[in-house]
Every structure is written in C-alpha cells, then in structure tokens.
Amino acid sequence: MAHDLKDAASPVQADILPPLAPEDRGILSSRGEAMLALLAAALLVAALAFGWRAYVYQEEGDPVASAMLAFEKQNSLVVFSSRFEVVAESVNTRSVAGVNVDLLESRQAAIIPASVEYRIDLSGMEADDMEWDEEAQLLTVTLPQLQTSRPNLDEAKARIFTEGVWVSRDAARELAANNSEQAERRAVEFAKNPEVLALARTAAREAVRQNLAVPLQVAGYEAARVEVRFASDAN
C-alpha cells in the first residue's frame, strides 16, 4: 500500500518543447500579415459606413413625389369657413275677387345666419403643378381655383320681423319661402366678395404649406421652403 502511495506522489515528467528562437516569437508570415491588415481595414470601413448611415445619412426622396403623395391622401382640403348674416325682405299682397286689398298686404324681414366653406380640389393636382428648385431648396406649388360650397342657412336661428294687419297661413309660407331664396342668393354673392376671397386664398396658401412641411421633412428636406400660388395669380 505504501508502495502505491509513493508511486502516486512521485513527480510526473512532462515533455518540454525546445524554446523558440527570438526571431520566431510572435511573428507572422508576410502573407498572414497582409490578410490580417485587409481584414482590419474591411472591419473599419464597415463600422464607419454603419455609423454614417445610422447617425449622419438621411436618405432624400423626391420632394414632388412626396408632395403628390400627401395630396392623394386627401382629395379635398377645406381651407376657410366664413360665417355671416344675410338680410332678406319680402312683400305679399292678397286679392279678393281679383282686386288687391291693401289691408291684406304683409311684409316680412329676416336676418338669417349663414356659412360658406372654401375648399381646394386636390384630386386634379399633377406633378406639373409643382416645381422643385434643388439649389434654393424651394418647392413651388400652383393651386387650382378655390371652390365654394353651397351656403348653409341656419333658419332655425333666424330673426323674423313681420308686418301686416292680417297675415294668413299661406301668406306667411310664401314670405318665408321668398326670404329663403333671397338669403341664399345674397349669401352666394357675399361669398364672392373680393375681401372674403382674399382671406380664403391666404388661408389656402398657409394650409397647403403646413400640409407639405412634414412630408418634405420625412423625405430628408428639413430646410425646404414651400411657396404656394394660384393659377390665376399669373393673370
């Protein structure tokens, strides 16, 4: 048993390699050095490209295409709404046996709130309606003519003033119908007032500029400006 322990405790002889000559320590062949240098260079280029792509580069798209895409998402753009009041007045004369009777004459005046919307039809916009100046970073947009909606008369809130000794039901109905027709015609005329149209056109330019600001930024043109005009401006 003691013999076994002695054998187990005896040192183990390991094979010892001969020492390397100084010129052989840590030295690659010329071919290996070239391969390592190429690999390091490739990794450096890849790292630089990835960093530039992630933190510096912003892919720039076509500004005109980006603007057209923004317009396609909304065929019609309401740019302005005008609220006002119109005054209408009608007279109704009733007759007896074919003779007009002054006592049966009635008059009615109405002050009716009205509203009109101004919109731009974007469905007909084409790429030719936009011009991009790369050097100036300027997108010029030419809009079609403004369109106005049919006047909306709020007759429930109308103020009615009626005169007459005796106003029949038929007379009252005719007076109200005539006043409604007058009010709509006058609302249309008011909507075409040059001062109101000027306000609507200014609102349209600003609305289009705001609608195109984000698509241009997404396309990579953060410094781009948008100039909006109407086709009739050149006339």
Same-domain status, 42 and 136: no
Same-domain status, 201 and 218: yes
Which residue, 170, 156, 157, 179, is CA-closest to 109?
179
* % of the chain at pLDDT higher than 70: 69
Average of per-residue pLDDT values in the chain: 77
Same-domain status, 80 and 49: no
pLDDT of residue 53: 39
Same-domain status, 99 and 212: yes
pLDDT of residue 112: 97
Same-domain status, 163 and 213: yes
C-alpha span between 195 and 202 (Å, rounded): 11
Q: Is 11 part of a structural domain of the chain?
A: no
Rounded to two decimals, what is the model's pTM? 0.65
Same-domain status, 49 and 67: no
Q: Is 204 part of a structural domain of the chain?
A: yes
Work out the average pLDDT over 164-173: 84
pLDDT of residue 203: 95
Q: Is 127 part of a structural domain of the chain?
A: yes
- Domain endpoint, select from 5, 30, 56: 56
Going by pLDDT thresholds of 50, 70 and 90, the confidence category of residue 96 is: low
Same-domain status, 170 and 218: yes
Q: Is 5 part of a structural domain of the chain?
A: no
Structure-model confidence comparison of residues 61 and 20, the more confident one? 61
Work out the average pLDDT over 49-66: 53
Structure-model confidence comparison of residues 30 and 35, the more confident one? 35
Work out the average pLDDT over 52-77: 65
Same-domain status, 42 and 91: no
Asked if residue 132 lies in contact with residue 212, where contact means CB atoms within 8 angstroms, the answer is no
C-alpha span between 92 and 49 (Å, rounded): 85
Which residues form the domain of 40? 22-56
Q: Is 10 part of a structural domain of the chain?
A: no
Structure-model confidence comparison of residues 146 and 18, the more confident one? 146
Going by pLDDT thresholds of 50, 70 and 90, the confidence category of residue 19 is: very low
C-alpha span between 143 and 123 (Å, rounded): 11
What total of structural domains would you count in the chain?
Answer: 2
Which of 7-16, 154-163, 225-234 has the weakest average pLDDT?
Answer: 7-16
Which residue, 158, 110, 136, is CA-closest to 224?
136
Work out the average pLDDT over 116-127: 90
* pLDDT value at 93 more than 70: yes
Residues 6+ away with beta carbon under 8 Å from 190: 82, 84, 86, 114, 116, 196
Same-domain status, 47 and 72: no
Q: Is 4 part of a structural domain of the chain?
A: no
Neighbours of 196 (CB within 10 A): 17
pLDDT of residue 27: 40
Q: Is 175 part of a structural domain of the chain?
A: yes
* pLDDT value at 103 more than 60: yes
* pLDDT value at 64 more than 60: yes
Same-domain status, 152 and 52: no
Same-domain status, 117 and 70: yes
Q: Is 108 part of a structural domain of the chain?
A: yes
Which of 7-16, 102-111, 159-168, 193-202 has the weakest average pLDDT?
Answer: 7-16
Same-domain status, 50 and 67: no
* pLDDT value at 95 more than 70: no
| Cα angle 191-196-197, degrees, rounded to a multiple of 5 | 85
